[in-house]
Structure 1
Amino acid sequence: MKSILTGIFCLIVVMAYSSDKPMPLSEEVQSINALTFSPEGILFIGDSKSAKIFALATSQESTASFGEVNLSKIDISIAQVLGTSVDMITIQDMAVHPKSGVIYMAVHAKNNQPVLLTVDQSGAINPVDLSTVSYSQKSIANAVEEDSKDRRGRPLRHWAISDIHFSGDQLLVTGLSNQEFGSTFRSISYPFSDDQQDASLEIYHAAHGQYETHSPVKTFTTATLNNETYVIASYTCTPLVLFPLSDLKKGEHIKGRTVAELGAGNTPLDMVILEKDGREVLLMANSNRPVMKILLSDIVSYEGSLTEPVDIPAATAGVPYLNFPMTNVIQMDKWGDSGWIMLKRQSNGDLDLITGNDFWL
């Protein structure tokens, strides 16, 4: 009897230990839709499928030189590392480690299997072993349901997390919720706690001639304008909208100020803020437009708000901008203190990972 009781006790201890031990991240993460870093090098993964945010401690601590990068046919190289063909992979996002300059890429491979890769400046590509990394996680409250579809029958769960950005000690998250007004902004403190602020968003979309509450933000960043922190966000068909960060509080319904209409028939893909000669510049990559350059000083000086339709197809209004002679830029991130790096589809079809030239700033 004593041996039986001892065996039962040991089994209970093992079960208790097993239940407390976190699962490997490789078994937790179901998709990788968005990436961003904190200034200290914590990597955040946005996973729409599981409606979770994961925070990973990365090992690179040294300061990089952030030199010129020109890696041609990066998608083919990635496919070769993964043992598949280029038509079987999709690059979802990329983020640069702010200290080491190592580029992290989120890739969905065969059967939409999520893979996290590192790319160094020499072109070496290595999968990150998600079964061994240390991580913490936070579930997204009230995420859009897994079976939700829009009026055209397209699945919406992919937009549970549309973009993420770290500001101060907060991880900022945009996407869709299951609430009456679906477009949602979330602010999550890090290290993760029970605190999670979420607000619904409303914008006037000049290209559509209507107010909208269900379109997800496609890309956003933050900037200090007149000594106040703002979220600068853009949506499909390219309205550019400002939200004061201080207004984005739990349970609030916030109306953004539309400061530009940058053209219908286009989806903004990524944005980054850079500085040169004391001027701050917003760069935005697009699906059907060149990279756009907008001076933050022009946003500050534009005191109006677009509240009337832009009736001419593809016409623009509001804050002025310039088109770079760069098309088919898919992803961008800051590169060192003042540069940027991008994934660009060249005219010959090659997908290259290259650094930008500050001449254009």
Structure 2
Amino acid sequence: MRLPVFGHVAFATVIAACLFVCENGHSAEVYGLDPGPVELQSVGPMTFGPSNVLFVGDPKAAKVYAINTEDSGKSSGQYKVDDVGAKVAEAFGVAEVTIADMAVNPETGHAFVGLNAGGKGHLARVAPDGTVTPLNLDKIGHAFAVLPNPPEDKEIKRGRRSMNPRTQCITDVAYTDGKVLVAGLTADESPSGVREFDFPFRDSSEGMSVEIYHAAHGREEDYAAIQAFVPFNIGGEPSLLAGYTCTPLVKIPVARIGETQKVKGTTVAELGNRNRPLDMIVYSKDGTQYLLMANSARGVMKISTD
């Protein structure tokens, strides 16, 4: 299977400043990002879109935010930061933080982390030397989309286990071809879902439920949330490669979102049980594309897409 990723200094300073203001003003104007406070109830998956715009999932609020980071310049070097959690906690003046996700701005190479502390979500930029700069959310260009039909924010029992399905209403986020794709649980009878939002945020689909055949369980399933996914063109068809708990790797056609209430994914690999995919990226080397998948109970997997 092939899966088709003097004056000179002063003048230069002024030009750079103008470019920065124009670019970020362009982001705010074109993408409808109005300045104002952003109060994140939680931070979940994040990804960058165009023009320094960071998409942030807020599962507790059942919203996806588009935030103008106003990021500029270029990263000065490779990252090697020890004990980043402690550095982030110190920057926010708290004893403990939970880092939810990290996203790298493809235009600058700067790393941004999303974290939860003190019952709220926060964002920060981390430099290669470990310097942590909190993002001021009191007045920042932003817009948001509300998830249709999210699960209630309450604990439920499923067999011997208790869980709050709201925490999994946003399990991964991606931006591709002017659209924001969101995976997670819904309040539908078949809760495993994928939603699609136009960006700038205008229209959204009700999304679709996804059913897969899980070989390790020996049955069809439509209740487990996608844990991580990447957009991928497979045989000329826009698709998602999605990983689930117990690690089935599934192909899901993107074109069907909004056209049908339920779609059947195609399992292309089974990568082992008692494991949860944490994140997935695609990269190219010597003309071949590879998938890298980080896992909860296994090392990073490198998967050829040939």
Q: Alignment partner for residue 61 of structure 2, among 42, 50, 56?
A: 50
3-state SS of the aligned residue for 2:216?
Answer: coil
The CA deviation string for residues 24-51 of structure 1, in whole angstroms up to 9 with x for no partner, is 213xx21111111114321111111111
2:205/2:257 contact within 8 Å kept: no
Residue by residue over 1:193-249, the C-alpha shift from the partner in whole angstroms, topping out at 9 and shown as x without a partner, is 133240111011111111111100000001122222210001111110001111222
One-letter identity of the residue aligned with 1:74: V
Residue of structure 2 aligned with 1:233, choices 242, 253, 263: 242
Q: CA deviation at 1:67?
A: 3.4
Question: Structure 1, residues 278-298: CA drift from partner, whole Å, max 9, x if none?
Answer: 11000000000010011111x
Q: How many residues align?
A: 271
Partner residue of 1:25?
38
Instruction: Give 2:127's aligned amino acid.
Output: D
Q: CA deviation at 1:175?
A: 0.5
Q: How does 1:163-312 map to 2 (within 5 A)?
A: 163-297=172-306
**Identity in percent:** 37
- Name the residue aligned to 2:77: 67
Per-residue deviation, 1:251: 4.3
Question: Quick one: distance in 2 between partners of 1:30 and 1:212?
Answer: 31
| Number of the residue aligned with 2:10 | none
Cα distance per residue 1:298-337 (max 9 Å; x no partner): xxxxxxxxxxxxxxxxxxxxxxxxxxxxxxxxxxxxxxxx
SS at 2:240's partner residue? strand
Matches of 1:195 and 1:89, distance apart in 2: 33
Larger radius of gyration: 1
Distance (whole Å) between structure 2 residues aligned to residue 250 and residue 163 of structure 1: 21
Counterpart in 2 of 1:108? 116
Question: Aligned equivalents of 1:275 and 1:22: distance in 2?
Answer: 38
TM-score scaled by structure 2?
0.85
Task: Work out the CA distance in 2 between the residues paired with 1:148 and 1:191.
Answer: 34
SS at match of 1:280: strand
Mapped to 1, the partners of 2:129 and 2:146 lie a distance apart of 36
Q: Is the 8 A contact 1:219 1:271 kept in 2?
A: yes
User: Can you list the C-alpha shifts for 1:94-147, whole angstroms capped at 9, x where unaligned?
Assistant: 10111111111011113x321111112232101111111111111000011112
Q: 1:239 to 1:97 in 2, by over 3 A?
A: same
- Is this contact kept in 1: 2:172–2:182, CA < 8 A? yes
8 Å Cα contact 2:35/2:142 also seen in 1: no
Compared with structure 1, are the counterparts of its residues 100 and 260 closer, same or farther at alpha carbon in structure 2 (3 Å cutoff)?
same
Cα 1:264–1:227 change in 2 (3 A) is: same
CA distance in 1, matches of 2:101, 2:204: 27
Structure 1 stretches (4+) deviating beyond 3 angstroms?
none
Conserved? CA contact 1:162–1:174, under 8 Å: yes
SS in 1 for 2:156: coil
User: In structure 2, what is the Cα distance between the partners aligned to 1:172 and 1:122?
Assistant: 33
Structure 1: distance between partners of 2:283 and 2:50: 16
Structure 2 stretches lacking a partner, 5+ long: 1-33
Question: Using a 3 Å threshold, how does the CA distance of structure 1 residues 133 and 22 change in structure 2: closer, same or farther?
Answer: closer
CA distance in 2, matches of 1:236, 1:69: 30
- State the distance in 1 between where 2:143 and 2:239 align: 28
Partner of 2:147: 140
Task: Give the secondary structure class of the aligned counterpart of 1:243.
Answer: strand
Distance in 1 between residues matched to 2:192 and 2:131, nearest whole Å: 39
Instruction: Provide closer, same or farther for how the CA distance between residues 74 and 142 of structure 1 changes in structure 2, counting only shifts above 3 A.
Output: same
Q: Provide the C-alpha distance between the structure 1 equivalents of 2:76 and 2:196, rounded to a whole number of angstroms.
A: 30
Q: In the alignment, is the contact (CA less than 8 A) between 1:57 and 1:133 conserved in 2?
A: yes
Q: CA deviation at 1:80?
A: 1.5
Q: RMSD value over aligned CA atoms?
A: 1.7
Q: State the AA in 2 paired with 1:43.
A: L
Following superposition, the deviation at residue 191 of structure 1 comes to 0.3
Q: Quick one: which amino acid aligns to residue 223 of structure 1? A: F
The code of the aligned residue for 1:121 comes to: P
Task: Please state whether the residue corresponding to 2:140 is helix, strand or coil.
Answer: coil
Question: Within 2, Cα distance between the matches of 1:218 and 1:150?
Answer: 21
**Equivalent position of 1:117 in the other structure:** 124
**TM-score normalised by length of structure 1:** 0.72
8 Å Cα contact 2:36/2:142 also seen in 1: no
